[in-house]
Amino acid sequence: MALWKDPTKDPSMPGSDGAAALAAEPAMRSVATPVPTSAPPAAEPSRRGERAASPAVGSAKESLIAADVTIEGKIEGAGHVRIAGRFKGDVNVQGNVTIEQGAHVTGQIAAATVMVSGEVHGNIQASSRVELLETGVINGDVKAAVLTVAAGSRMRGNADFGWPESAK
């Protein structure tokens, strides 16, 4: 049984007989696929030490600068930014910024959350938190509500964290 009208089955068409109608029937048929009743498995963290973000409905989109890309300029916006390549300039977003292992950023970063697995040469200001992962390097000052530093990471600069917003 076909899901579309087959002109060879139309009795008003000359030369349409039962044998031609059977020969014209497609060999593939539409099969209903079961709908999963449970939620899909959560995303796993990558091998680079990054946390998996659980996507929420209506969450902001993420922009990516790929590993083999070098960009010079300015990034501003409300979404999330993931940098795996080289970026020279300032980043000012309301979302999260992730600097992947092997990435190099030269410039100021202002965001809600900043995760550093690569290298940042410039100051970081985060309204929520900064996470310096084990392969991360920061050469500049950090100002955040929470600062998490993993063993093996490196930082040269001043850190200002844990103070209430009114004391800053």
82 assigned to some structural domain: yes
Q: Is 138 inside a domain boundary?
A: yes
Distances (CA, A) of 73 to 26, 70, 94, 139: 56, 10, 18, 20
| Global pTM value | 0.64
On whether residue 56 sits in a domain, the answer given is no
Rounded Cα–Cα distance for residues 137 and 64 (Å): 20
Residue 62 one-letter amino acid: E
- Nearest-angstrom CA–CA distance, 102 and 113: 19
Domain that holds residue 95: 62-167
Residue 123 lies in a domain: yes
Domain count, the chain: 1
Is 80 a domain residue?
yes
In degrees rounded to 5, what are phi and psi of residue 79?
-90, -165
Answer yes or no: is 20 within a domain: no
Find where tokens 């990435």 sit: 103
Residue appearing with tokens 């000012």:
92
Tens digits of residue pLDDT in 119-155: 999 999 999 999 999 999 999 999 999 999 999 999 9
Whether 114 is in a domain gets the answer yes
- Kindly state whether residue 29 falls inside one of the protein's structural domains: no
pLDDT tens per residue across span 2-54: 555 555 555 555 555 544 444 444 433 334 434 444 444 444 444 444 444 44
